């Protein structure tokens, strides 16, 4: 299909950005980049902020597809996806269930563990006292422990605890963001990430990126607003490790029922070289510092081509039927 026909097929597109989450600022950065890239390719694309406009307005605008660049809650967690399902407007990224599950790090880890996929040991905690008990359990040799909100992104509210005395403050910080707090075993080693594009058997993993942050601290600031973090792609991992991580990430992606695109974060134990799945992001960043465009670029795919491919994958989990089945039409209304 020619580029002109592909562009025409996309119809009117809304790029959803901003939103209500704590990642609103980064979402605008992603959204503006995607909007500019789509327009440069002739796509009839328009910005849309769900925090300022009712999603129902999308129908009145004649929107035929949505490119979701919302990050965090109320955008990456299945809520917007569910609304778009009801509106019948195809959207990018995983569907309602996969988005909802992936946003909940505890539920994600339960599913991965049930499927035999490696993920660091963890405990859900509901108080500072429980966080202290988790530290004793997960860090028996005074090793670090990660404390973070279970349903936040971009390391917001995360603390690397190295002393028992830090548990109360770490819990307080995480609980400000989410009443469900996760304490997780810290894996010391190489931090890597791996994007996936596509769905089902056709899904493919892109090159793995080795992330080397200042002091090993890949926090919100180092992710988006500094140039001191190193991103090594093609990665410098020992022979065979990249392929093994790509296979692991593909299995993790398919296990959660993801489609369209996502990006999984992995830690590799420095001593054993065992990779551990941390989480999966179902609405990855598309800023100048973002990792999916960086990985795609290593394969020769431009930012603009990536945006167009993701947009072309927009879909619905359950398209509404054009008309009700005959049996449903003959069913008496409730209370009749």
Active site residue 116: no
23 a catalytic residue: yes
Sequence-distant (6+) residues with CB within 8 A of 67 are 13, 14, 15, 16, 34, 38, 45, 91, 92, 307, 310, 311, 314
Are 45 and 63 spatial neighbours (Cβ–Cβ below 8 Å)?
no
For this structure, is 65 an active site residue?
no
| Residues in CB range of 258: below 8 A, 6 or more apart | 94, 98, 102, 196, 199, 203, 280, 282
Which residue among the candidates 22, 30, 281, 290 is catalytic per the annotation? 281
Is residue 52 among the annotated active site residues? no
Exactly one of 23, 104, 152, 317 is catalytic; name it.
23
Give the residue from 128, 115, 134, 120 showing the smallest Cα distance to 274: 120
Instruction: Name the catalytic one among 285, 290, 295, 313.
Output: 285
Q: Which of 224, 253, 276, 303 is catalytic?
A: 224
- The continuous run of DSSP H or E covering 296 comes out as helix 291-297
Per the residue annotation, which of 85, 104, 152, 279 is the catalytic one? 279
Range list of β-strands (E), 207-329: 209-212, 230-232, 261-269, 275-281
265 is catalytic: yes
CA distances 21 to 51, 104, 123, Å, are 9, 15, 25
Tell me which of 263, 295, 303, 317 is the catalytic residue.
263
Based on the residue annotation, tell me whether 263 is a catalytic residue of this protein.
yes
Q: Point out the catalytic residue in the list 184, 190, 265, 317.
A: 265
Please indicate whether residue 283 is annotated as part of the active site: no
Which of the 8 DSSP states describes residue 115? T
Task: Look up 279 and say whether it is catalytic.
Answer: yes
Catalytic residue from among 99, 139, 154, 313? 154
C-alpha distances in Å from residue 235, one per residue of 26, 147, 286, 294: 26, 28, 20, 12
Catalytic residue ranges: 23, 154, 224, 263, 265, 279, 281, 285
């Amino acid at each position: 299909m020619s580029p002109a026909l592909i562009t025409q097929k996309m119809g009117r597109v809304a790029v959803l950005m901003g939103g209500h989450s704590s990642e609103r600022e980064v979402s605008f950065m992603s959204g503006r980049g995607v909007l500019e890239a789509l327009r440069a390719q002739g796509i009839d694309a328009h910005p849309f902020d769900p925090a300022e406009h009712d999603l129902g307005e999308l129908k009145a605008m004649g929107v035929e597809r949505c490119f979701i660049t919302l990050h965090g809650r109320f955008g990456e967690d299945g809520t917007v996806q569910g609304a778009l399902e009801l509106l019948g407007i195809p959207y990018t990224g995983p569907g309602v269930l996969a988005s909802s599950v992936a946003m909940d790090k505890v539920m994600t880890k339960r599913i991965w563990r049930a499927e035999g996929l490696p993920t660091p040991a963890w405990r859900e905690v509901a108080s500072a006292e429980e966080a202290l008990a988790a530290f004793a359990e997960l860090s028996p040799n005074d090793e670090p422990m990660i404390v973070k909100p279970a349903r936040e992104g971009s390391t917001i509210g995360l603390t690397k605890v190295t002393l028992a005395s830090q548990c109360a403050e770490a819990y307080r910080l995480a609980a400000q963001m989410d009443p469900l707090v996760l304490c997780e075993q810290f894996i010391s080693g190489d931090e890597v990430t791996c994007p996936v594009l596509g769905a089902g058997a056709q899904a493919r993993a892109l090159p793995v990126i080795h992330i080397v942050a200042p002091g090993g601290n890949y926090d919100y600031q180092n992710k988006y607003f500094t140039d001191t973090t190193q991103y090594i792609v093609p990665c410098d991992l020992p022979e065979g490790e990249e392929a093994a991580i790509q296979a692991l990430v593909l299995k993790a992606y398919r296990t959660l029922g993801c489609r369209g695109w996502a990006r999984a974060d992995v830690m590799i134990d420095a001593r054993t070289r065992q990779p551990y799945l941390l989480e999966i992001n179902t609405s990855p960043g598309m800023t100048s510092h973002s990792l999916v465009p960086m990985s795609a670029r290593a394969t020769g795919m431009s930012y603009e081509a990536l945006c167009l491919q993701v947009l072309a994958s927009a879909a619905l989990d359950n398209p509404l039927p054009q008309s009700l089945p005959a049996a449903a039409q003959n069913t008496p209304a409730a209370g009749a």
